[in-house]
Amino acid sequence: MAKGYLANKDRLDTINQFGKEIGKRAGFKCEWCGSKEDLRTWDYRPEREPEPATLALLCGRCRDLADGRKPDLVELRSIRDALWSDIPAVAEGAARVMATCKEPWVREAIEESFIDEEVKRELLG
């Protein structure tokens, strides 16, 4: 248990070291919806070594969505531009949230985006 705690702490330290870089990249706005509220670095691939490509600066609401809360239509629209990012944590992360909704335009938007083809297949079936 102590070992797990330490590993987790090391991980958080590494993520924090990227914090400044991610904040700058994001223009200190949520990389999904553009909000400036309660911004924090979000870890898209907790099973991998943290790096800027798998981290995104997200607001509190978008972190909720990332944690599995289903977005309403307004929220869906607010994050759709994130699909066009070339950062996997931003584009793929948003695509995973959007794919939980079955609106036809969501499917189309994900199909048209440049996210990894494998992720696309996984999300669209």
Q: Which residues bind Zn ion (CB under 5 A)?
A: 30, 32-33, 35, 59, 62
Phi/psi of residue 99, each to 5°? -65, -15
The CA–CA distances, whole Å, from 8 to 4, 16, 50 equal 6, 12, 11
Helix (H) or strand (E) holding 16: helix 2-26
Q: Which among 108, 90, 119 is positioned nearest to 22, based on CA atoms?
A: 90
Closest CB to Zn ion among residues 37, 122: 37
Rank residues 67 and 122 by Cβ distance to Zn ion and give the closer one: 67
Whole-number minimum distance, CB 75 to Zn ion, in Å?
9
Residue closer to Zn ion by CB (options 58, 115) is 58
Closer to Zn ion by CB, 62 or 76: give it. 62
Taking the complex as a whole, how short is the minimal distance between the CB of residue 3 and Zn ion, in angstroms?
A: 34
Q: Give me the least distance between CB of 21 and Zn ion, in Å please.
A: 19
* CA-wise closest residue to 88 among 123, 112, 117, 56: 56
Q: In whole angstroms, how close is the CB of 9 to Zn ion at the nearest point?
A: 27
Which of 85, 89, 86 has the alpha carbon at shortest distance from 57?
Answer: 89
